[in-house]
Structure 1
């Protein structure tokens, strides 16, 4: 095993490795947590002033944790695959050792003095938390003008995704080996797609939201973003599970998602709606999806034609549902401190405040009908294949916000392909699927039934064993 790990890291910088590579190297004594953490902090110091992935770097805390992990591992205590591995969390996860801004100017020095459940679980697993990652204001669509706006490492002109853009940029550039993001309408999947990494939005309630600032509670999900499906499996095994502090979490056993991840997928039924994924997408996207289908067919999966509900009002109703709940999340600061809000979150709050009882009831009833139709459409298959966006990553000012606004028409109906999994609370795994003619990465998502994260990770790992899109790294010379 040591020889295999040596071969895996030979000639590669530490920052180029996956979480699984680093974990194996630490376990075999080839690398130590202190060396890896120091190298990653140096990487952050070099790149973050330009790419702006971090809003807070907790270097002293990280080095102290790395020394603890190194001492434990040398004494024979190995907590698992995250032990001694540097990671980072989106800045809506509360931490006792750093402020939590949630991307908001009003919380710039907000010290809650406590850890969110996900942070507690990561530290109990021995992970080394490097800091807090930049995000859009309140996890909505646009960045607050006074806070960092991350840049896409594949090209500063490209959209970096919303709202977990800092998580996507840090992971893609080796400023962390995995990160936490959140997803209400696609914010794990958009930056994973745009930054060429892997991201998992689990079943609603699979991961505790205790100590995580809300955008819209019934739509919010917390999940891992990393370079590979196996890396996401290692993260999900730690953060998933029931939590007494969050009564909405599911009381279901949590497997070790790495167990069985190498299982063959012959006979796996993958649903594909040709009208949605091929006929209604840009040529580059359709070609990428066709190639993905060919790869899965070669692995023995069975592609099953299905017809997913394709309601043109999905973005309208998602926006109403989000608007209802965002008002609750900001009770006490909106409208009392309205002037301190940025334009995009402010617009969402104004929309929510203007909804009538009839608007609310209509949106809630629509969601029930839509989720039922989606469940029926998925009955014949194990998982569903979808693009993340209809077209490749747009050239777009990353300060811009909500889909469908006049100042960023290039995003189009951004929620069409991602909102279904949030509305129904279904798990979805985003994987790198290729590169367009400009060299920008783009990918696809596998959406599953409730609590099918293990199956999705298995299918994602199978794809990544025979493709190398996840192993490619951006050329950062223009940022250094």
Structure 2
């Protein structure tokens, strides 16, 4: 397989070649390092690259595979992770000047499990400051390779850019209001925000712990399923990681969508999404219907109250996460994160209590809706390929996040899993995506449905011209 094909491949498509010796982990790693050196000076996807460690891991993986000890589809695959996952051999900057020279005291559970699966760690990917909305003023923001004037999503922006541009084969992100799904939407990736508790958050710097989720971002549902397989499961180091058995996602992925009942709330979509996005969603409905799914009209609980409550909880929990450095080092914070923390410190107990009540009621209402359906369809973003000018027009107010995340933040609040899938492009060529949401711990079904869609479409195979 030529280099121009290798860099853009789905890694699960390379696994048999690696196992049989036709594809070399060492060669794949050198290819990724060469592409990082060639392109990342413009794209700014990486916060740190570790070429020596990556080469050593690739050589060890190749020797192990040649000796007949193949560990699975991630063995020998060069990946990278968002720079909020603790790693003891690569610096962890957390998107902040405060942590520029900080050494993580231990490895995150998720990255340890990736290493145990045989993955090759290339480095750490640029994240927004404090995993919130903006990059720190000292850090260059990643560039969307599909269009430099367009948003990359937050806060896993580097993860989205690196994976779509062929600077790694897959990645992990974190998601509090949409930060796996928004960059996946903008960069043409398949991203899974798992059920809250499906993946350990041990060793992952928080934005708001009760809203934070850890999950994969990849080039296909099959790749995302393989990454989730490696990192999912209970963890003694994280008491919130659910002790629920992890199914074999790849073994179930060919099941198709025939007979599934998928809910859609068209009044919600018409109120929140642009005409371009609505047209792409109707194409998805038509495709999944041809594959045997049945769509029914449902009503999603009102999102405005829960979005307002999300803003309160996120601010309060962010203030908790930064209490060791804020306000003690207030001057080193960027404007937007500092404003979030100040709001969190100012909210009253009554305001937080009201947000928590709304959250409980909303979660119950979502559960009632799912009694009649298997999956629920919404867009990834309310607008197609938002420009940087559009994002700037939303201003600094918390309403900016609520305006861009009506289809993402609610699922962080209730903790239900979703998968983001490319389904089109804006007139300027920026990817457009849809989401399927499922019941708690229904990630296997989500992967199955996304894979069925990707079996008859090729939007997930579009790569940017660098």
Q: TM range, normalised to the smaller chain?
A: over 0.9
Taking the aligned partners of 2:248 and 2:122, their CA distance within structure 1 comes to 25
Map of 2:365 onto structure 1: 373
Q: Is the Cα–Cα contact under 8 Å of residues 314 and 415 in structure 1 kept in the other structure?
A: no
Map of 1:67 onto structure 2: 59
Alpha-carbon shift at residue 314 of structure 1 (Å):
3.0
Taking the aligned partners of 2:166 and 2:68, their CA distance within structure 1 comes to 28
Structure 1 residue 218 corresponds to structure 2 residue 206: no
Q: Is the Cα–Cα contact under 8 Å of residues 278 and 289 in structure 1 kept in the other structure?
A: no
Which range is displaced more, 190-199 or 353-362? 353-362
Structure 1 residue 98 corresponds to structure 2 residue 98: no
Structure 1 residue 419 corresponds to structure 2 residue 413: no
Deviations 1:10-40 (A, max 9, x none): 6843211111122232123221100000011
**SS class of match (1:442):** strand
Map of 2:302 onto structure 1: 310
Map of 1:50 onto structure 2: 42
Mapping for residues 16-415 of structure 1, pairs under 5 Å:
16-278=8-270, 280-396=272-388, 404-405=394-395, 413-415=403-405
Map of 1:467 onto structure 2: 457
Taking the aligned partners of 1:334 and 1:457, their CA distance within structure 2 comes to 40
**SS class of match (2:421):** strand
Taking the aligned partners of 2:317 and 2:397, their CA distance within structure 1 comes to 25
Alpha-carbon shift at residue 278 of structure 1 (Å):
4.1
Alpha-carbon shift at residue 372 of structure 1 (Å):
1.2
Taking the aligned partners of 2:324 and 2:399, their CA distance within structure 1 comes to 33
Taking the aligned partners of 1:217 and 1:225, their CA distance within structure 2 comes to 20
**SS class of match (2:299):** coil
Structure 1 residue 436 corresponds to structure 2 residue 429: no
Q: TM-score, normalization: structure 2? A: 0.97
Q: Is the Cα–Cα contact under 8 Å of residues 189 and 219 in structure 2 kept in the other structure?
A: yes
Aligned length: 466
**Alignment CA distance shift 1:214-1:407 (3 Å):** closer
Q: Is the Cα–Cα contact under 8 Å of residues 182 and 220 in structure 1 kept in the other structure?
A: yes
Q: Is the Cα–Cα contact under 8 Å of residues 97 and 113 in structure 1 kept in the other structure?
A: no
Taking the aligned partners of 2:4 and 2:20, their CA distance within structure 1 comes to 17
**Alignment CA distance shift 1:279-1:255 (3 Å):** same
Structure 1 alignment gaps of length 5 or more? 1-8
Taking the aligned partners of 2:127 and 2:400, their CA distance within structure 1 comes to 21
Taking the aligned partners of 1:11 and 1:132, their CA distance within structure 2 comes to 23
Q: Is the Cα–Cα contact under 8 Å of residues 306 and 355 in structure 2 kept in the other structure?
A: no
Q: Is the Cα–Cα contact under 8 Å of residues 303 and 410 in structure 2 kept in the other structure?
A: no
Alpha-carbon shift at residue 368 of structure 1 (Å):
0.9
